[in-house]
Amino acid sequence: MKKAFITGITGQDGSYLAQFLLEKGYNVYGLTRRTSTQNFERIKEIIHHPNLELISGDLVDQQSITFALQDIQPDEIYNLAAQSFVKASWEQPVLTGEFTAIGVTKVLEAMRLACPKAKFYQASSSEMFGKVREVPQNENTPFYPRSPYGVAKVYGHWITVNYRESYDLFAVSGILFNHESPRRGLEFVTRKISNTVARIKLGKEEVIELGNLDSKRDWGYAKDYVQAMWLMLQQDKADDYVIATGETHSVREFLQIACKVAGLGDYEKYYKHNKKYDRPAEVDLLIGNPEKAKKVLHWSPTISFEELVTLMVEKDLEFELKNSN
C-alpha cells in the first residue's frame, strides 16, 4: 500500500485529495494543527476511515514535520498547507511569509533528511503571474506577483525547483489556477456569492456586498484539480505544470449566473459595492494554458463554468435550508 502525507488536509483541496487517495487504496497521513475547537468539517466523511491517520503538527514547527516524515516514510508528500487568502496577506504579511513561503522549505528540509526518495508536490498558484506578462499564462510565463501571498508563493515555487536541482529530489510545482467547490472557504468570492445568494433566496439576507466585479479568473472545479496533483507525482520525471481550464470569466459573470440559478433575476437588485473588499493591488486577469498537462498528464477539466456556479449555488441552497436559522 502506498503512503501519502498531506499538509493542509482540513482545507478544501486537502480534504478532496485525501478522499481521492483513500479511494485509490493509499494509507493517508494528514498534518493538522492544534485548534481550540475542532475544524474537521471538510473531512467528516473520511475521519473514521481505517487508512486515515491525523498527525499533530504545524508548518512553523520544523521538528513536528521532520519527526512525522521519519515515522511515516511516505511515498508521496503533498504540501497544501498555507495562509491561502490573498486579502489577508496584506493584513498579515509576515505570517503569510512564514507559512506560505518558509513553510515550504521546512517540508523540503524534512523530506531531504527523513525520506529523500519520496515524491513531493508543492501547491503553487496562478497568483504568481499577478500583473500578467503574457496571455494566456503557461509554465514559462514570467512571474509578477501583486500581493504578499503571491510573493510568498513565488518563493515556494523556486525553492521547490531549487531543491530538485540541488539535491536531485523528485519535487514538482503545480501552478494551479483558481479552483472552487462547495467546500471553498466562505471568504473567497465564489463561495461568498453562492452562499449569500442562497441566503437572499431564503430571506436570510437582503444584499450582497462585494469589491471589484471586473477582475477575471480562470475558475475550475477542485475535485478535478486534486487529480492533477496526483498525476504529477505518477510521472517518471519531476516537472512543473499549469492546471487551468483555459477560459476566463469576471466576478460579475459569476454573480449574474448565481442569481439566475437561484431564481433571483437581475443581480443589480441585490449587489452593493463595499470598498473594504477592494485590494491595495489587484490581479485583473488570469487565464491559463493547460496544454502541457493535457499532453503529458492526459488531464482535462470535467465541468464547465456554468456547471460549477450551478453546483455551488444548489449546494448552498441545500445547506442553508438545513441550517434554517
The answer to whether 173 contacts ligand NAP (rule: CB under 6 A) is no
Closest CB to ligand NAP among residues 81, 114: 81
> With respect to ligand G4F, which residue has the nearer C-beta, 180 or 320?
180
Q: Does 197 bind ligand G4F (CB under 6 A)?
A: no
What length does the chain have? 325
Report the 10 Å Cβ neighbour count for 214: 11
Q: Which of 4, 13, 74, 173 binds ligand NAP (CB under 6 A)?
A: 13
Establish if 201 lies at the interface with ligand NAP (CB under 6 A): no
Q: Where are the beta strands (DSSP E) in the chain?
A: 3-7, 27-32, 52-56, 76-79, 119-125, 170-176, 179-180, 208-210, 216-217, 220-221, 241-243, 249-250, 271-273
Give the position of cell 502525507.
5
In the region spanning residues 37 to 56, those forming contacts with ligand G4F, defined by CB under 6 A, are: none
Give, as ranges, the residues between 57 and 96 that touch ligand NAP (CB under 6 A). 58-60, 80-84
Give the x/- contact pattern for ligand G4F in 150-189, rule: CB under 6 A.
Answer: ---------------------------xx--------xxx
Chain centroid offset of residue 243 CA: 11
- Spatial distance between the Cα atoms of 78 and 4, rounded to a whole number of angstroms: 8
Question: In angstroms, what is the minimal distance from the CB of 24 to ligand NAP?
Answer: 19
- Tell whether residue 259 is a contact of ligand G4F (CB under 6 A): no
119-138 binders of ligand G4F (CB under 6 A): 125-127
Please report, as residue ranges, which positions from 212 to 241 form the binding site for ligand G4F (by CB under 6 A): 212, 215, 217
50 and 27 Cβ atoms separated by less than 8 Å? no
Residues 80 and 125: their CA atoms lie apart, in Å, by: 11
Binds ligand NAP (CB under 6 A): choice among 4, 7, 136, 150: 7
Give dist(CA 249, CA 306) in Å, integer.
10
Euclidean distance between CA atoms 179 and 14, whole angstroms: 13
Instruction: State CA 246 to chain mean position distance.
Output: 17
**Chain positions contacting ligand G4F, by CB under 6 A:** 84, 86-87, 125-127, 177-178, 187-190, 192, 210-212, 215, 217, 251, 277, 279, 282, 286
**Chain positions contacting ligand NAP, by CB under 6 A:** 7-8, 10-14, 31, 33, 35, 39, 58-60, 80-84, 99, 123, 125, 176, 178-179, 185
